[in-house]
Amino acid sequence: MSRTVAHGGTDSPAPVVSAERVRFTLPDPDHRWAGVRLEVDWVAPGARDYGFADGVWSLDFPRPAAWRIEYQLGLRGDDGEPTRTADPTNPRRVANPFGDKSEIRFPDYREPAWLPTPPRGTTRPVAIPDLLGTAVPVRLWSPLGLDDTTAAPLLVVHDGSDLADRGDILRWATAHAATDPVRVVLVDPAPGLRQDWYAATPDYADHLAGVLLPVVTAQVSCDRVVGLGASLGALALLYLHRRHPAALDALVLHSGSFFTWEFDSQESAWEPFDRICTEVARMAGPDGQRPVPVLMTCGTIEENLANNRAMAAALTAHGYPLHFVMNPDAHTVIGWRDTWFPALDDLLTGRA
């Protein structure tokens, strides 16, 4: 018999979760809504429109190939205009820049063992010369007791504040530093400039290699520099590596936006799409190689899976020591958080 989990109290019409499916319900005794739809940004295996009967909207949804899912509800009024919202029957929420999402965890999902570790260390801002027209926000985290003159690996994280806040990367770093000291550079995009800087932009890559990294490594002693990024942040790091092969000693690329004309036509209306496809094709080629160890991860139910597999195959063919992880998740911070251990630890210590 499958174990079921209700996400609310005993009287709550919360989603009921089994190993094979989810039953969603939403009471609507006054028939306020003209329609209810499960809204997701991953590849869904079944119908997503709720049915209505006896004052309740309901949907039996087959489990996708994932340990957990994030979703919203699309509530349609009589005017036909949908409103997206978190599921009011499900108390489990995940913060998201585009609005909180509700979360379902299937019975076999497990959080990383390091997650309960309280983050401990010191964080200080690093002043970077403004040569891009807008300063790059940078903060340097160090574990307690590690002085600036002691050499340690340096982990350079794109979208650093977000991966610290939502991805708990400083909890992981604290746990890792208990046996192997590591410093973390939290690199953020300036407000409104993430898509400009991270979309395989030469000026930004040159600034990282020629200004930002030298400023940081002049302040602290490091013996290895590893870059970690997700989505566009991963694209920007691989682009940096291919443009400046000596800048990074290893890469962690989560769900990289390695768009191609073949796999990603749904993104073609986005202005940088053609430039990204051109640069991805170049990065998949043989020029400018300095093979370094790479951890690549991608969710089993996300649209980027095909282009990530293609890039992984290309890098492997060019001699990169590459470990590819398909995580049973989507394009989510939690999915990325759940996959960087233990391979990231091995990259930092040189065991990979």
Residue-wise pLDDT tens digits, 235-249: 999 999 999 999 999
pLDDT digits (tens, 9 = 90+) for 63-82: 999 999 999 999 999 887 88
Average pLDDT, the chain: 94
Q: How confident is the model at residue 288 (pLDDT cuts 50, 70, 90)?
A: low
Read off the pLDDT of each residue in 119-131 and give the average, rounded to a whole number.
96
- Give the C-alpha separation, 307 to 260, whole Å: 7
Q: What is the dihedral of CA 44, 46, 47, 49, to 10 degrees?
A: -60
pLDDT (0 to 100) of residue 287 = 73
The string of DSSP codes covering 16-49 is EE-SSEEEEEEE-TT---SEEEEE-SS--SS--B
Give 290's contacts (C-beta < 8 A, 6+ positions apart): 241, 245, 246
Percent of the chain with pLDDT over 70: 96
Residue 46 has pLDDT above 90, yes or no: no
How far, in Å, are 286, 295, 298 from residue 313 at the CA level? 13, 13, 14
Q: How far is CA 196 from CA 74, 105, 184, 233, 257, in A?
A: 31, 35, 24, 11, 14
Q: How many angstroms separate the Cα of 80 from the Cα of each of 18, 30, 83, 127, 352?
A: 33, 17, 10, 50, 54
Tell whether the model's pLDDT for residue 10 goes beyond 60: no
Q: Can you tell me the mean pLDDT for 9-24?
A: 81
Question: 3 falls in which pLDDT band (50, 70, 90)?
Answer: very low
Tens-place pLDDT, residues 135-165: 999 999 999 999 999 999 999 999 999 999 9
pLDDT, residue 80, reads: 77
Region 115-141: mean pLDDT is 96
Going by C-alpha positions, the residue among 209, 300, 302, 309 that lies closest to residue 258 is 309
Which residue is associated with the tokens 């009967």? 53
For the stretch 321-343, pLDDT in tens is 999 999 999 999 999 999 999 99
Q: How far, rounded to the nearest angstrom, does the alpha carbon of residue 305 sit from its chain's CA centroid?
A: 13
Rounded to 5 degrees, φ, ψ at 313 are -65, -40
The one-letter amino acid at 224: R
Check: CB of residue 183 under 8 Å from CB of residue 130: no
- Taken in order 225, 226, 228, 232, the sign of the CA dihedral is positive
Q: Output the pLDDT for position 11.
A: 47
CA dist 348 and 352 (Å) reads 8
What is the pLDDT at residue 23?
97
Q: What is the pLDDT of residues 252-285, one digit of tens each?
A: 999 999 999 999 999 999 999 999 999 999 999 9
Longest CA pairwise span in the chain (Å): 70
Supply angle C-alpha 311, 324, 95, rounded to 5. Answer: 95
